[in-house]
Structures are given as C-alpha cells and as structure tokens.
C-alpha cells in the first residue's frame, strides 16, 4: 500500500520515494508512518499533521493513496 | 472599469491644491494598482535627479487592485517614493485598515508633491479633499496624533488615519509611516519623505464601494479559501517547543515538498503571529546574531528563551485582524508594568530579533518597550536594530569611544545602553544624531573602516534572515530595486508560493532534493528568484498580504484578479505584469544613476569571512554570480543589471526610455 507523505526533511525521509510516496503494509496507521520517519519522543509530541486535510489521531488506520501532511516548521517571513 | 476607480488624488503641498487625475484603464491592465501604479506615476512625476527630501519627490499612498472588492487578504497599502535612504526606488507596505479607506474615498491612490509651508494633514471624504492645519500635531507621536485626528474628523464612520511621529519629523532616513496606532510601512525612509513635506497625517472617511466584475465568483472563492483558514485551530504545541524544532531543522541536508501549508501555517500564525519564529530562527540559523558574526552559541536558548512565543504570548491581551483577513496574526500586548505605555502591538519577528539577538539583548521587556517607542516615533525597527548592532561593534573595536557615545557603554547585550541609544536616535540627540540615518551613512561620517560593520545593501540594513542559511534571501537583498528587502523572495518562499501549480513554465521542485543546490548560482536558482519577485509585484499590485501567498497554491489570487476586473488573463500573463513592474522599478534606478552592482549586500552577510561554527559554518556565497543569474533570468544585462533593450521592448516599456 502506498500513501503520500509530505514530511519536513529533518525527519528521515529516505523511505519516501521521489514521487513523495511511502510504501506501507496493509492496516498500517499514521504511527507507523512516524516510525518509518524515525520521529522519536519527545519530538513526537510536537508533531502537527493532517490526514487528507483533517487533523486526526495517530492510531488511525490508513488506506491506499491517503495523504499525510506533517507541518513543516520553517524559518523565514 | 472594475476593481479600480481610474482616478488618483494629486496633492500639491506647496500650492495647497488638490486635483483629481484620470488614469486610463490600460494602465491598470499593464501595471495593476499598488506598486505598479505607483511606479508608473512616479516615473512620470518625479524629475530625474530629484532630491528625495525636496519638493520634487512624490510620495504616494496606493491601494491594491483587489482591495475592497470582496476578496480576502487584500488589506495592504503601499507607500511609494524615491528613497532618501538608498537613492533608489523606494516603497514600503502595511496592513490594517488604511488600504480599503483609500478606495472608499473614490481613488486608487493619493500622491503628494511639493512642501507645505507649515504642518498640514489631508482630509478626504466622499465630497472631496482639503488640507488642514497640523501645527498642533507637530511633535506628537503617532498614537497621540491618530487619536486627535480621529476625534477632529469624526463622522458616522471612524476615520482611517496614517501619520508620522518624531523620527519622521526629524527626517531620520530610517523612518516610516504609521496607521492603526503603530503599525508601520517602515522601510526605504518613506517617513522622512512625508516629514520633509510637512505632511503630518492623512485622514480618510469616504464610504464609496468599488465595483467588482463578478462578485458572486469573488465571494465563492473567498468562501472556499476562507473556510480553510477559519477552520484552522491554534497550533496545539507549547512555545518552548519552537526552539527545539528550530534546532531539529539543522539536522537535515535535504529540502522537501511542504504539501498544502495553508491550514497549518494558519494554525501557527493565529496563535503567535510572526513571533512564532523568534526562538526557532535563532536555533535554525535563520536569524543573524551579533551583527552577523555570531551563532546560536553566542545567543543560546537560555538567552533567547525570553522571546519564545509562549513567553511573549503571556502578555497578549487581544488578537486582531487586518481588513479582509480571515487569519488575524496581530496581537496587542500589555506593557503598563514595564513602560510608560499601556499596550503595544505584539512585536513582529523582525523587531524581536533586530533588537534582540542581533545585539545579544536577551531582555524581552526592553524589546516590548522599544517596539512601542519606535512605533510611536515611526522608526523602522529593522534598520534601528541593525544600526544599534553596528554602533556596538564600532564601540567594541574602539572606533567609537565613550566620549563619542555620550557616556554610553555600548557593549554586546547591554540592555540599558541599547534602550538609551534608541531614544537618542529618535530625538537625534548626541550620538543618536549620527546614527539616525542608518549604518551606512553613520559609517561614512565615522570613517576608520567602520563600513565593515555596517551590514546593509545599498544603504538599507539587512533584515533578520541570514543569506548564509537561505541564499535566496541574500540574492534578493542585492538585486532588488529597493535593496535590503526580505519580503520579495527566497528559496523558502519559492517552495511556499507553489507557483508551478499555476504556471507550468515554472520548475516544480522534486519531492526531495539536496539543500546544497541552494548555494549554487545556477540558472535554475535565477529562475526561481525571478518567479518570486514577479509574483511579489503582482501581490503588491493587488494589495495582497505576503502571508497569504505563503499559504500555498490554494490562495486564488489569479482567479480573484479575473473575477474582480473582468479580464481573462492566465497566471503566466499576470506574472509577466509582475516582471514589467519589477523592470520599471529597476529602470527608475538606472535613470537616477544607480549602479545595480553597487547594491550588493555587505560581504559579511555573504560569508566573507566564513562563520566557524553553527549551522551556517563555512558557507560562502558568490553573490556577484547570484546577481548575474537573476539578471539573466529576468532579462537584464548579465554584467550590468540594466534592463536590456529587448526586454524593454517585450514588456512595452519604451515610453520610459529617455
């Protein structure tokens, strides 16, 4: 199963392919995405994300082509 | 005509006469309004070689073409003139409630020439315009002035007022123009131009509504985009986390696609405004520290923590929105326990860093007090902070002595001395008089190689975004017709603007790519920078807030423009209008004898010498080459920065060639 993941580059984005997709097992949750990105505590506490445009909880089960957008904190402006 | 009136008010302050001038529809179609209309008018009205503080300079207050037409994020007005600070094209912009008020008087812009014999203010209502005596206002600060003018001009509708404070009256070349009690169009020395004209204030009480070609479509666009912004809840993390996240940003050597940033950017700005980034930017290497010689190790978390957004937020008593803004990044902070003033606008990121980390000042209370003091005096906090840091470095290196500084010990982080120095700058008192025109002019007067410590481009102090962290900022600091400007473009902005989704001639960045690509003066980077500046000219011609553009591709600016005006232009065609305006601003500089190469930023900001620690360690930028790739991409001579004949012909600007 593939889901689209927009992640800040300061996490481990090696598991995201050049088209922005991540390969996951069927039944995977958002927390599994975080694991692949190697987001650890306490940073995990500060992660703000949406699934298909809505803020939800991390144990939500994903389906093919879902879009996860992790807020990319940026400097500048 | 739709979205605009086709009329400007032209005020001759020497003669005391107000006249209305008609502007043909084609002018708007070619330049939009705002900065574009300003560039068109000023090119024609200001004679070559005019003294920026003399009667021939023209000062314009211009609204955007989308302002007041049922569109969101379109409440910004532009101040335009020849800059007395840089000698170049000058502009600055500001939000609040002034932009729609210009339109509601039935004009797209108000332009002033001449010099009044005595202080005056302009009053405009539906019936017309008149000049009123302002002798009783001269010497009063911006907040006091606004309150008095509002009372004097009271009608059923509350007047919108723009005015100047003490620094602008004193012709400080780093002064601006205030509206909404302390919000400032701060840059380019626009306040000094207003002061030189003895124009204390402008009061607008018109109630006219500008036409919109397709109001239903404009409303629908606003509804769809607005719901996304309105539904965003304040970001659910504590302020101290921002420093931790800033540090995290230094761990990556890659750049990734940010997806749709609209909702979450809104969440952050709703909660803390631009101050979200105060501590984060110190940690990430975005904020220049210790007059661009330092790093986060010189201003560690224990020093920067006083400015983290959670701490600043504790002083916030209310939030506010600019006109037509669904987000509301503004806030009011209580300061009656630490200053003679009751409250101040929540200080912007730029202010906090310019008066904080840049001089190693860790004292938030002093920053809040200076924020209010500068707002009331209408002095630019970026240039003030840059000039203070310059003076400190001069003092630390023995170029200025205690004798020169009226006894002030101008050492790094000496809060008391920093506060006193700013107070003196506003009043042009003692050492303050030397510094009131910014660091470049002060360095020229001081001599003794002081110029090495004046971190500016073309005379304007650099903002709080380190070129060595994002060279895109650095490129714009040096190539902008208004040099030293950060609100034009950067690689970060290119990622946020997402223009490739609307104009397929522009390059779409890969989902991830090495950050090292940003440090190469490549053709691709030139294209990205030009796309940013072209877009920004459209933004500034439309009265749009930069933060709306940073919300990504979902902000419907081009669809808004077609809906409001009735034109049928593609995004690419609008970006070409942006290129025309940018080129016209550059042509103004060429006409005034400015050598574009001379606007290059101080070499320290480009990594010479290199920093030996921190996130920007060992970075050095070939800024000459960066300027060349920008010039090549926009159609200016690659070696001189002068717009080529081909570009001038292509952009239909031949009428401005003399």
Q: What is the pLDDT of residues B292-308, one digit of tens each?
A: 999 999 999 999 999 99
Say if CB A49 and CB A55 are below 8 A apart. yes
Helix, coil or strand: residue B625:
helix
Asked if A73 lies within 8 A of B263 by C-beta distance, the reply is: no
Chain B residues inside the 8 Å CB shell of A20: 257, 511
**Chain A contacts of B242, Cβ < 8 Å?**
73
Spell out which residues of chain B touch residue A74, defining contact as CB-CB under 8 Å.
Answer: 249, 258, 492, 496
The number of beta carbons lying within 10 Å of the beta carbon of residue B453 is 24
List of chain A residues whose C-beta atoms are within 8 Å of the C-beta of residue B255: 9
Structure-derived torsion over alpha carbons of residues B332, B334, B339, B342, reported in degrees to the nearest 10: 80
Q: Which residue has the tokens 């920008």?
A: B630
- pLDDT for the residue numbered A75: 62
Angle between helices B364-377 and B415-427 (to 10 degrees): 0
At residue B631, φ and ψ (nearest 5 deg) are -60, -40
Determine the average pLDDT of the residues in B80-95.
98
Shortest CA gap A76–chain B (Å)? 6
Confidence band, pLDDT 50/70/90 cuts, at residue A42: confident
Which of these ranges, B200-209, B226-235, B388-397, B525-534, has the smallest mean pLDDT?
A: B226-235
Chain B CB contacts of A11 under 8 Å are 252
Residue A53: pLDDT band (50, 70, 90) is confident
CB distance A20–B257 less than 8 Å? yes
Q: What is the mean pLDDT of residues B111-130?
A: 98
Q: How confident is the model at residue A31, as a pLDDT?
A: 92
> Which candidate in B256, B508, B545 is best for mutational testing of the A interface (most A CBs within 10 A)?
B256
Q: Which two tokens stand for residue B498?
A: 């997402």
CB atoms B274 and A71 under 8 Å: no
Beta carbons of A75 and B242 less than 8 Å apart: no
Tokens of B128: 């017309």
The 10 Å CB-count burial string (b at 16+, else e) for B314-337 is ebbeeeeebbbbbbbbbbbbbbee
ipTM of the complex: 0.89
Q: Say yes or no for a CB contact (<8 Å) between A72 and B256.
A: yes
> In chain B, pLDDT over 70 holds for what percent of residues?
100
Q: What is the mean pLDDT of chain B?
A: 97
CB B382 within 8 A of CB B374: no
* Residue B242 and residue B281 in contact, taking contact as beta carbons nearer than 8 Å: no
Q: Answer yes or no: do A75 and B281 touch at CB < 8 A.
A: yes
Tell me whether residues A9 and B515 touch, CB distance under 8 A.
Answer: yes
Q: What is the pLDDT of residue B533?
A: 98
Contact B496, B543 (CB under 8 A): no
Cβ pair A46:B237 closer than 8 A:
yes
Is the pLDDT at A59 greater than 90? The verdict is no
B465 contact partners, CB below 8 Å, separation of at least 6: A75, A76, B281, B286, B287, B288, B473, B486, B490
Is 60 exceeded by the pLDDT of residue A77?
Answer: no
| B260/A69 Cβ within 8 A | yes
Model pLDDT, residue A47? 87
- Does residue B543 contact residue B34 with C-beta atoms inside 8 Å? yes
**Chain A: closest CA distance from residue B463 (Å):** 10
- Residue-level pLDDT at B558: 98
From B241, B263, B286, residue closest to A46, measured CB to CB: B241
Is there a contact between B512 and A13 if contact means CB atoms under 8 Å apart? yes
CB contact under 8 A, A77 and B349: yes
Least Cα separation, residue B533 to chain A (angstroms): 15
Cα B572 from chain centroid?
25
Contact state of A74 with B263 under an 8 Å Cβ cutoff: no
Question: Does the structure show a pLDDT above 60 at B461?
Answer: yes
Partner residue facing A77 (CB), from B274, B510, B511 = B274
Whether B268 shows a pLDDT value over 70: the answer reads: yes
Residue B630 distance to chain A (closest CA, Å): 21
Q: Which residues of A touch B465 (CB under 8 A)?
A: 75-76
Q: Say whether B465 and A73 touch across the interface (CB within 8 A).
A: no
Asked if B496 and A74 come within 8 Å (Cβ–Cβ), the reply is yes
Q: What confidence score (pLDDT) does residue B22 get?
A: 98
User: What are the residues of chain A with a beta carbon less than 8 Å away from any beta carbon of chain B?
Assistant: 6-11, 13, 16-20, 42-43, 45-46, 48, 50, 53, 55, 67, 69, 71-77
Distance from CA of A26 to the nearest CA of B (A): 24
B286: closest chain A residue by CA? A75
Q: Which residues contact B211 (CB under 8 A, 6 or more apart)?
A: B1, B2, B3, B69
Contact B286 A76 (CB under 8 A): yes
From residue B277, give the alpha-carbon distance in Å to each of A49, A50, A73, B485: 19, 21, 9, 18
Tell me how close the Cα of B510 comes to any Cα of chain A, in angstroms.
7
Distance CA B145, CA B166 (A): 11
Helix, strand, or coil (residue B90): strand
Q: Which helix (H) or strand (E) holds B281?
A: helix B278-284
Select from B96, B538, B297, B548 the least CA-distant residue to A77: B548
Verify whether the Cβ–Cβ distance B546 to A17 is below 8 Å.
no
SS3 B250: coil
In this prediction, residues B486-513 reach a mean pLDDT of 96
- pLDDT, tens digit, 9 for 90 and up, residues B8-26: 999 999 999 999 999 999 9
A67–B512 C-beta distance less than 8 A: no
- Is the distance from CB of B431 to CB of B349 less than 8 angstroms? no
Give the pairing of strands B177-179 and B183-185: antiparallel
What secondary structure letter does DSSP report for B617? B
Give mean pLDDT, residues B126-130.
Answer: 97
* pLDDT confidence band for A43 (50 / 70 / 90): confident
B412 to chain A nearest CA, in Å? 25
CA-based nearest distance B489→chain A, Å:
9
CB contacts of B287 in chain A (<8 Å) are 75
Question: Which residue is closest to A45 within chain B, CA to CA?
Answer: B237
User: Any idea which of A11-20, B48-57, B143-152, B356-365 has the lowest mean pLDDT?
Assistant: A11-20
Residue A76 has pLDDT above 60, yes or no: no
- Give the H/E segment covering residue B350: helix B349-354
* Chain B residues within 8 A of A42 when measuring between CB atoms: 244
User: Whose CA is closest to B472, among B530, B517, B529, B522?
Assistant: B529
Mutate to test the interface with A, among B511, B513, B518 (most CBs of A within 10 A): B511
């Amino acid at each position: 199963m593939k889901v689209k993941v927009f992640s800040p580059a300061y996490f481990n984005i090696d598991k995201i392919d050049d088209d922005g997709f991540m390969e996951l097992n069927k039944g995977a949750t958002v927390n599994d995405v975080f694991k692949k990105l190697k987001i650890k505590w306490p940073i995990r506490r500060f992660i703000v994300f949406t699934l298909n445009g809505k803020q939800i909880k991390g144990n939500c089960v994903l389906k093919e082509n879902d879009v996860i957008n992790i807020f990319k904190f940026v400097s500048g402006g | 005509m739709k979205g605009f009136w086709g009329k400007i008010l032209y005020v001759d302050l020497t003669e005391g006469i107000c006249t209305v001038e008609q502007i043909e529809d084609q002018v708007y179609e070619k330049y939009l309004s705002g900065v574009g209309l300003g560039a068109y008018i000023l090119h024609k009205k200001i004679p070559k070689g005019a003294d920026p503080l003399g009667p021939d300079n023209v000062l314009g207050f211009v609204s955007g073409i989308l302002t007041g037409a049922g569109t969101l994020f379109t409440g910004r007005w532009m101040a335009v003139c020849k800059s007395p600070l840089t000698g170049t094209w000058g502009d600055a912009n500001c939000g609040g409630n002034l932009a729609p008020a210009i339109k509601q008087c039935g004009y797209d812009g108000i332009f002033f020439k001449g010099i009044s014999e005595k202080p005056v203010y302009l009053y405009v209502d539906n019936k017309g315009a008149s000049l009123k005596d302002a002798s009783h206002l001269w010497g009063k600060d911006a907040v006091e002035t606004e309150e008095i003018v509002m009372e004097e001009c009271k009608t059923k509708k509350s007047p919108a007022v723009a005015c100047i404070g003490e620094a602008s009256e004193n012709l400080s070349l780093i002064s601006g123009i205030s509206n909404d009690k302390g919000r400032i169009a701060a840059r380019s020395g626009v306040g000094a131009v207003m002061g030189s004209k003895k124009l204390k204030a402008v009061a607008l009480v018109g109630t006219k509504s500008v036409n919109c070609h397709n109001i239903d479509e404009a409303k629908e666009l606003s509804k769809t985009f607005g719901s996304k912004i309105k539904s965003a809840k304040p970001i659910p993390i504590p302020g101290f986390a921002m420093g931790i996240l800033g540090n995290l940003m230094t761990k990556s050597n890659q750049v990734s696609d940010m997806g749709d940033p609209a909702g979450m950017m809104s969440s952050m700005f709703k909660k803390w405004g631009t101050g979200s980034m105060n501590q984060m930017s110190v940690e990430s290497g975005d904020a220049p520290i210790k007059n661009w010689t330092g790093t986060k190790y010189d201003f560690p978390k224990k020093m920067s923590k006083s400015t983290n957004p959670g701490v600043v937020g504790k002083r916030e008593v209310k939030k506010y929105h600019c006109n037509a803004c669904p987000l509301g990044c503004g806030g009011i902070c209580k300061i009656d326990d630490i200053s003679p003033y009751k409250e101040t606008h929540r200080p912007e990121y730029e202010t906090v860093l310019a008066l904080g980390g840049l001089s190693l000042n860790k004292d938030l209370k002093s920053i809040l007090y200076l924020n209010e003091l500068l707002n009331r005096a209408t002095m630019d906090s970026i240039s003030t902070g840059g000039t203070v840091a310059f003076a400190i470095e001069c003092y630390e290196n023995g170029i200025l002595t205690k004798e020169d500084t009226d006894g002030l010990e101008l050492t790094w982080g000496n809060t008391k001395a920093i506060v006193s120095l700013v107070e003196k700058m506003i009043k042009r008192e003692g050492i303050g008089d030397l510094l009131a025109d910014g660091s470049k002019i002060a360095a020229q007067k001081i001599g003794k190689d002081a110029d090495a410590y004046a971190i500016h481009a073309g005379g304007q102090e650099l903002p709080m975004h380190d070129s060595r962290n994002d060279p895109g900022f650095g490129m714009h600091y040096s190539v902008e017709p208004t040099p030293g400007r950060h609100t034009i473009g950067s690689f970060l902005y290119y990622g946020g603007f997402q223009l490739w989704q609307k104009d397929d001639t522009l390059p779409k960045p890969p989902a991830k790519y090495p950050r090292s690509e940003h440090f190469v003066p490549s053709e691709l980077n030139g294209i990205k920078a030009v796309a940013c500046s072209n877009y920004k000219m459209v933004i500034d011609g439309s009265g749009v807030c930069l933060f709306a553009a940073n919300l990504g591709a979902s902000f419907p600016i081009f669809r808004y423009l077609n809906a409001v005006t009735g034109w049928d232009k593609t995004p690419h065609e609008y970006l070409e209008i942006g290129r025309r305006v940018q080129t016209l601003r550059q042509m103004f500089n060429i006409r005034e004898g400015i050598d574009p190469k001379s606007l290059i930023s101080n070499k320290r900001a480009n990594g010479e010498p290199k920093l030996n620690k921190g996130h920007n360690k060992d970075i050095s930028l070939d800024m000459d080459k960066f300027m060349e790739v920008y010039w090549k991409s926009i159609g200016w001579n690659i070696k001189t920065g002068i717009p080529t004949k081909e570009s001038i012909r292509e952009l239909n600007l031949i009428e401005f060639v003399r």
